[in-house]
Amino acid sequence: MTAPEPAKQAATTRRFGTCAWGLLSICFTASLLDGAELDEVRRRGELVWAADQEGGGPHVFPDPADPRQITGFEVELAELIAGELGVKARFLQGQWDRLPLLLEQSADCVINGIELTPERRRDYGCSRPYFSYALQALGRRGAAPASFADLAEPGPSGPWRVGVLTGSAAETEMRARSSRGEVQMEVIGYDGTLDSLEQVQSAVLDAAVMDDCIFAFYADRYGKLRAVDRPFAGGFYTVLTARSTPRLAVAIDDALGTLLADGRLKALYDRWDLAGRQQMLLLRDAAEIPPASQRTLVELIRQTLPLLLSSAGMTILLSCASFPLAIAIGLAVAIGRLYGPSWLKPPLTAYVEVLRGTPLMLQLYAIFFLLPKVGLALPALMAAILGLALNYSAYESEIYRAGLKAVPLGQFEAALSLGLSKWQALRHVLVPQAVRIVMPPVTSDFIALFKDTSVCSAITVIELTKRYSVLALSMGRIVELAMVTALIYLCMSWPLSLLSRWFEARLERPAGTTP
Amino acid sequence: MIKVESLTKHRSGTPVLDGVTLAGEAGGVTALVGPSGSGKSTLLRCLNGLECFERGVVSIAGHRLTPGPHSGGVLEALRRDVGMVFQQFNLVPHLSVLDNVTLAPRTVLKNTVAEARSRAIELLDRVGLGSFAAARPATLSGGQQQRVAIARALAMQPQVMLFDEPTSALDPTMTAEVLEVIVDLAKAGQTMVVVTHDHGFAKRAATWVVELAAGKVARQGTAAEML
DSSP string, chain B: -EEEEEEEEEETTEEEEEEEEEEE-TT-EEEEE-STTSSHHHHHHHHTTSS--SEEEEEETTEEE-SSPPPHHHHHHHHHHEEEE-TT----TTB-HHHHHHHHHHHTS---HHHHHHHHHHHHHHTT-GGGTTS-GGGS-HHHHHHHHHHHHHTT--SEEEEESTTTTS-HHHHHHHHHHHHHHHHTT-EEEEE-S-HHHHHHH-SEEEEEETTEEEEEE-HHHH-
> CA-CA distances (angstroms) from residue A328 to A89, A323, A451?
53, 9, 20
Q: Are residues A404 and A464 in the same domain?
A: yes
Cβ of A513 and B92 within 8 Å?
A: no
Nearest to A428 among B76, B80, B103 (CB): B103
Give the residue among B9, B71, B83, B13 at the shortest CA–CA distance from B40.
B9
Q: Who wins on pLDDT, A288 or A406?
A: A406
Cβ of A510 and B133 within 8 Å?
A: no
Report chain B residues whose CB lies below 8 A from the CB of A432: 94
Q: Who wins on pLDDT, A171 or A56?
A: A171
End-to-end CA distance of chain B: 24
CA gap A491, A469 in Å, rounded = 19
Residue A46 confidence class, pLDDT cut points 50, 70, 90:
very high
Alpha helices of A86-124 — where are they, by DSSP H? 99-102, 118-123
> What is the per-residue pLDDT for A513?
41
> Using the 8-state DSSP alphabet, how is residue A60 labeled?
B
Degrees, nearest 5: CA angle A190-A192-A193: 95
Cβ of A510 and B72 within 8 Å?
A: no
A377–chain B Cβ distance below 8 A for any pair:
no
Q: Indicate the SS3 state at residue A154.
A: coil
CA gap A57, B128 in Å, rounded = 84
Beta bridge partners of A188: A163
Q: What is the mean pLDDT of residues B131-145?
A: 94
Cβ of A411 and B90 within 8 Å?
A: yes
Q: Which residues contact residue A163 at a Cβ distance below 8 angstroms, ignoring those fewer than 6 apart?
A: A188, A189, A190, A195, A196, A199, A200, A205, A207, A208, A209, A460
Q: What is the mean pLDDT of residues B68-80?
A: 91
> Using the 8-state DSSP alphabet, how is residue A149 labeled?
G
CA gap A372, A102 in Å, rounded = 35
Q: How many domains does chain A have?
A: 3
Give the residue among A446, A377, A103 at the shortest CA–CA distance from A249.
A103
pLDDT in tens, A153-191: 888 888 999 999 888 889 889 988 998 988 899 999 888
> CA-CA distances (angstroms) from residue A489 to A65, A303, A306, A389, A474?
46, 19, 15, 22, 21
> What is the per-residue pLDDT for A304?
87
The CATH number assigned to the domain holding A55 equals 3.40.190.10
pLDDT over 90 (residue A303): no
Q: Are residues A276 and A386 in the same domain?
A: no
Q: What is the mean pLDDT of residues A409-436?
A: 95
Q: How many CB atoms lie within 10 A of CB A347?
A: 11
* Run of H or E residues at A445: helix A439-452
Q: How many domains does chain B have?
A: 1
Test mutation, A411, A417, A513, A514, chain B, max B CBs within 10 A: A417
* Run of H or E residues at A11: helix A6-14
Strands A185-190 and B191-195, bridge-based pairing: unpaired
Nearest to A410 among B72, B79, B88 (CB): B88
In chain A, the percentage of residues whose pLDDT exceeds 70 is 91
What is the CB-side half-sphere exposure of residue B94 using CA atoms within 13 A? 20
> What is the per-residue pLDDT for A34?
53
Q: Are B28 and B222 in contact (CB under 8 A)?
A: no
* CA-based torsion, B203, B207, B213, B214: positive or negative: negative
Nearest to B107 among A413, A428, A512 (CB): A428
Q: Are residues A253 and A229 in the same domain?
A: no
> What is the per-residue pLDDT for A1?
41
Max intra-chain CA distance, chain B? 51
**ipTM > 0.85, yes or no:** yes
> What is the per-residue pLDDT for A2?
44
Nearest CA in chain B to A420: B108
> What is the per-residue pLDDT for B98?
96
- Stretch 51-110 of chain A: residues touching chain B, C-beta under 8 Å: none
Q: How much is the mean pLDDT over chain A? A: 86
pLDDT in tens, A338-373: 999 999 999 999 999 999 999 999 999 899 888 888
Q: What is the mean pLDDT of residues A236-263?
A: 91
Measure in Å the smallest separation between the Cα of A513 and chain B Cα atoms: 6
Residue A30 covered by a domain: no
> Structural domain of residue A206, as residue ranges?
131-237
How many residues in total does chain A contain? 515
A408–chain B Cβ distance below 8 A for any pair:
yes
Report chain A residues whose CB lies below 8 A from the CB of B152: 418
Report chain B residues whose CB lies below 8 A from the CB of A510: 94-96, 99, 136
Q: Are residues A342 and A325 in the same domain?
A: yes
pLDDT over 70 (residue A18): no
Give the residue among A480, A501, A461 at the shortest CA–CA distance from A315.
A461
B83–chain A Cβ distance below 8 A for any pair:
yes
B94–chain A Cβ distance below 8 A for any pair:
yes
Q: Are residues A266 and A176 in the same domain?
A: no
The CATH number assigned to the domain holding A346 equals 1.10.3720.10
Report chain A residues whose CB lies below 8 A from the CB of B108: 418-420, 424
End-to-end CA distance of chain A: 89
Phi, psi of A198 (to 5 degrees): -55, -45
B227–chain A Cβ distance below 8 A for any pair:
no
> Structural domain of residue B43, as residue ranges?
2-226
| Residue A50 CB burial class (10 angstroms; 0-12, 13-18, ≥19) | buried
Q: Are A31 and A92 in contact (CB under 8 A)?
A: no
Q: Who wins on pLDDT, A501 or A179?
A: A179
Residue A509 confidence class, pLDDT cut points 50, 70, 90:
low
pLDDT in tens, A465-493: 888 888 887 777 778 889 999 999 888 87
Q: Are residues A326 and A253 in the same domain?
A: no
Q: Are residues A143 and A161 in the same domain?
A: yes
pLDDT over 70 (residue A149): yes
Q: Are residues A225 and A89 in the same domain?
A: no
Q: Who wins on pLDDT, A480 or A432?
A: A432
Q: Are residues A306 and A396 in the same domain?
A: yes
Q: What is the mean pLDDT of residues A5-34?
A: 48
Residue A30 confidence class, pLDDT cut points 50, 70, 90:
very low
pLDDT over 60 (residue A14): no
Q: Are residues A400 and A487 in the same domain?
A: yes
pLDDT over 50 (residue A148): yes
CA gap A10, A20 in Å, rounded = 10
> What is the per-residue pLDDT for A514?
38
pLDDT in tens, A324-344: 999 999 999 999 999 999 999
CA gap A210, A177 in Å, rounded = 15
Listed as own residue / partner, the contacts of B6-9 with beta carbons closer than 8 Å and 24 or more positions apart are: B6/B55, B6/B56, B6/B57, B7/B43, B7/B46, B7/B53, B7/B55, B7/B56, B7/B57, B7/B58, B8/B53, B8/B54, B8/B55, B8/B56, B9/B42, B9/B46, B9/B51, B9/B52, B9/B53, B9/B54, B9/B215
> What is the per-residue pLDDT for A377?
81
The CATH number assigned to the domain holding B136 equals 3.40.50.300
Residue A120 covered by a domain: no
Q: Are B185 and B161 in contact (CB under 8 A)?
A: yes
Q: Are A235 and A116 in contact (CB under 8 A)?
A: yes
Report chain A residues whose CB lies below 8 A from the CB of B156: 418-419
Q: Are residues A276 and A303 in the same domain?
A: no
B75–chain A Cβ distance below 8 A for any pair:
yes
CA gap B180, B174 in Å, rounded = 10
Residue A487 covered by a domain: yes
pLDDT over 50 (residue A11): no
pLDDT over 60 (residue A25): no
Q: Indicate the SS3 state at residue A47.
A: strand
Cβ of A418 and B108 within 8 Å?
A: yes
